[in-house]
Amino acid sequence: MPSLRLGPASLLSHPPVHPPCRTARHVRPLHFFGQEHGYDTILAFMPGHDVTAIILAAGVARRLAPLTDRTQKSLLPVGGRPILAWMMAALHAVGVPRVVIVVGHCADQVTALSASAPPGMVVQFIDNPAYRLGSAVSLYSSRDVIVGGPTLIMDADVVFPREFLRRLVGSAAPNALLVDGGFADTGEEVKVYTKSDRVIALGKKVVPEGWDQIGEGVGFFKCSAEAGPELVRLLEQVIEESHRLCEYEDALHLLVSRQHVQPVDVTGLPWTEVDFVEDLRRAQAEVFPAIARLEGP
């Protein structure tokens, strides 16, 4: 895939964007599907119909090696399907019609999965050849999407129930972050601090003054069209200051002091981020069965 330079002198270069996936008969431009099947009419009554999901599925996931040496982490199976397949199904269930997936490590495997995308869902891909760097570079690769309208920014390694997206997409807040208040602090979690129902800080090591509640960030953020350009500017800033070795949460931490971001509580619902082999075992043995009981057949 073509290379992408993201040095300070080329932060505004445009990464390649693949056209809507044509590898399967069901994945086609949405207006065609709507004309034939009335899907646009259905979407108009669903809360996520005007949102584009951005899924970050580029990283190497060294902590899961050797499982991820030749496979993208989001393609690891849980409940008989790749994690990413469950994610696209959940987005479809809440009416999100467009998905942009940032790819890097084992990109060909990720693009191949789009052949099984839900009917009517438009899937596009953005190449990030600098995928071995921090996640901020991956998210910055999707900057044209971020400034183009409301988005859901999602890590691709989360096993979760559809209720997560129902609450996030259905929230009246234009900018919102999913937060679990029942977490155990192991040092790996991105902690989210709130005050008076507003996110005031987030990060693994950040401890602000004056917070009244704390929780773990799930890795799902709803970004409004108004906040999008500011998020892109902050991504540029943290990428330059860190020489590209930073996570996108560093930019979100700066954003919450400039934009009102509301926490959306998901405490008590089953979920896990898959960072280690033990997380994958827990996802398979505990989290997925709990989700299946919650959602039914």
Residue 249 lies in a domain: yes
Cβ partners under 8 Å of residue 149, min gap 6 = 50, 51, 52, 225, 228
Q: Kindly give the interhelix angle for 162-170 and 83-93, rounded to the nearest 10 degrees.
A: 40
How much is the pLDDT for 30?
27
- What is the total residue count of the chain? 297
How much is the pLDDT for 245?
83
How much is the pLDDT for 240?
94
CA–CA separation, 190 vs 241, rounded Å? Answer: 20
CA–CA separation, 37 vs 31, rounded Å? Answer: 10
How many domains does the chain fold into?
Answer: 1
Residue 4 lies in a domain: no
Q: For residues 114 and 85, is the Cβ–Cβ distance under 8 A?
A: no
What is the arithmetic mean of pLDDT over 205-214? 90
Query: 4: which 2 tokens?
Result: 């992408």
How much is the pLDDT for 164?
98
How much is the pLDDT for 46?
53
Query: 232: which 2 tokens?
Result: 């892109």
Residue 266 lies in a domain: yes
Of 241, 249, 132, 237, nearest to 189 by C-alpha is 249
Residue 250: what residue type?
D
Residue 9 lies in a domain: no
Residue-wise pLDDT for 73-109, tens only, equals 999 999 999 999 999 999 999 999 999 999 999 999 9
In the structure, what pLDDT confidence band is assigned to residue 243 with cuts at 50, 70 and 90?
Answer: confident
CATH of the domain at 210: 3.90.550.10
In the structure, what pLDDT confidence band is assigned to residue 36 with cuts at 50, 70 and 90?
Answer: very low
Q: Which domain holds residue 48?
A: 15-295
What is the arithmetic mean of pLDDT over 104-125? 94
The H or E element containing residue 254 is helix 248-255
Residue 193 lies in a domain: yes
Residue 160 lies in a domain: yes
Q: For residues 49 and 43, is the Cβ–Cβ distance under 8 A?
A: yes
Query: 247: which 2 tokens?
Result: 């996570």
Q: Is the pLDDT of residue 19 over 50?
A: no
Residue 32 lies in a domain: yes
For the chain, the farthest-separated pair of C-alpha atoms sits apart, in whole angstroms, at 55
**For residue 129, which phi and psi values (nearest 5 degrees)?**
-65, -20
In the structure, what pLDDT confidence band is assigned to residue 185 with cuts at 50, 70 and 90?
Answer: confident
Residue 8 lies in a domain: no
